[in-house]
Amino acid sequence: MIGRLNHVAIAVPDLEASIAQYRDVLGAKVSEPQDEPDHGVTVVFVELPNTKIELLYPLGENSPIKGFLEKNTSGGIHHVCYEVDDILAARDKLKATGARVLGDGDPKIGAHGKPVLFLHPKDFNGTLVELEQV
């Protein structure tokens, strides 16, 4: 059901420092910061030949990554995003196994303009999973 690894997301405590590290030290192609108010994050994409890294920084009072950064003060790997062909079919199959779909259960439009959903980390070996329909 799942396809390519679309991105690995890393929550960061200092976005400018992380941009400089990936761009100037690691020599990666790094996008401009993009505010995603519907998701409560500012996102920067680091483009690698085979996937992307998504640097996440909290946006607004109710950011879903606020608690994570309070616990992980140096930042940390926040989620992995797998591509799927049919996000509603994937959601329904996962729900039938008891996996918790976060939010109201309906896909939202993600940072690439495509529908996304999140699955509770406690139902996936402690890893927050994002599905993106491509």
Ligand X SMILES: C[C@@H](C(=O)O)C(=O)SCCNC(=O)CCNC(=O)[C@H](O)C(C)(C)COP(=O)(O)OP(=O)(O)OC[C@H]1O[C@@H](n2cnc3c(N)ncnc32)[C@H](O)[C@@H]1OP(=O)(O)O
Catalytic residues: 130
Q: Distance from first CA to last CA of the chain, Å, rounded?
A: 12
Contact between 53 and 22 (Cβ < 8 Å)? yes
Binds ligand X (CB under 6 A): choice among 37, 49, 98, 126:
126
Q: Contact region for Co ion (CB under 5 A) — 1-9, 33-41, 65-73, 83-91? A: 1-9
> Which is nearest to 7 in space by CA: 107, 86, 92, 114?
114
Contact between 42 and 123 (Cβ < 8 Å)? no
Residue 65 as a binder of ligand X (CB under 6 A): the answer is yes
List interacting residues with ligand X (CB under 6 A).
9, 36, 39, 41, 43, 54, 56, 64-65, 67-68, 71, 78-79, 81, 102, 110-111, 116, 118, 121-122, 126, 128, 130
